[in-house]
Amino acid sequence: MAKSKIIVLGVTGSIAAHKAVDICSLLAKTGASLHVVMTRDAQEFVTPLPFKTLSRNPVITSLYDEEEGWRPAHIRLADEADLLLIAPATANSLAKLAHGQADDALGCIALALNPEAKLMIAPAMNGKMWSHPATQANVALLRERGAQFIGPAEGELACGYEGLGRLETPDAITEAALHLLGIPS
């Protein structure tokens, strides 16, 4: 059953991007068809190579990445996806998603996502950024549109603060994503 599911993992520019490699590994083990899209900022924290190796698919890092043929890869993935999982999702990426900004491949996939697909978001950011009214308004808008959220978790943050803002564990994110798709974990 999992082999028929197509999961797009969106990775944004957070120190937690390194944990997305573990999420990719766990999702790949389910047998789902896994495709990774990285923002330019995500590539400041981790390279596409581990995602390409684990997913067994090319990693999209630009709107202009073309695997083959004439059809844009970001539109093909938006059409075919059963789940768009964004982990980690920064405050910037939440704002862009909430306001329909499509200036990169991930934003275009989110905006063109087929209506039957699920959207799950795993935030990771500084606690003050998470609790800011602008971020909370963006989260509320995304939830209103059907986005599912997992996290953030509490704990020590990369910025040195303690509090709400950590990326949920890769195991918890993977389990929630599989549950959303109806795949036993």
**Could you say which of 99, 154, 159, 171 is catalytic?**
159
Q: Is 185 exposed, middle or buried (0-12, 13-18, 19+ CB in 10 A)?
A: exposed
What is the number of domains present in the chain?
1
Q: What residue numbers bound the domain in which 35 lies?
A: 2-181
pTM for the full predicted model: 0.94
The helix/strand/coil state of 68 is: coil
Q: Is 159 a catalytic residue?
A: yes
**What is the Cα–Cα distance from 153 to 21, expressed in whole angstroms?**
18
Looking at 69-181, which runs of residues are DSSP E strands? 83-89, 118-123, 148-149, 153-156, 162-166
DSSP 2-21: GGG-EEEEEE-SSTTHHHHH
- Identify which of 125, 126, 129, 88 has the alpha carbon closest to the alpha carbon of residue 106: 88
**What is the Cα–Cα distance from 165 to 153, expressed in whole angstroms?**
6
The CATH number of whichever domain residue 60 belongs to comes to 3.40.50.1950
Along the 185 residues of the chain, how does pLDDT read in single tens digits? Answer: 344 799 999 999 999 999 999 999 999 999 899 999 999 999 999 999 999 999 999 999 988 776 666 677 888 899 999 999 999 999 999 999 999 999 999 999 999 999 999 999 999 999 999 999 999 999 999 999 999 999 998 888 777 778 788 999 999 999 999 999 998 76
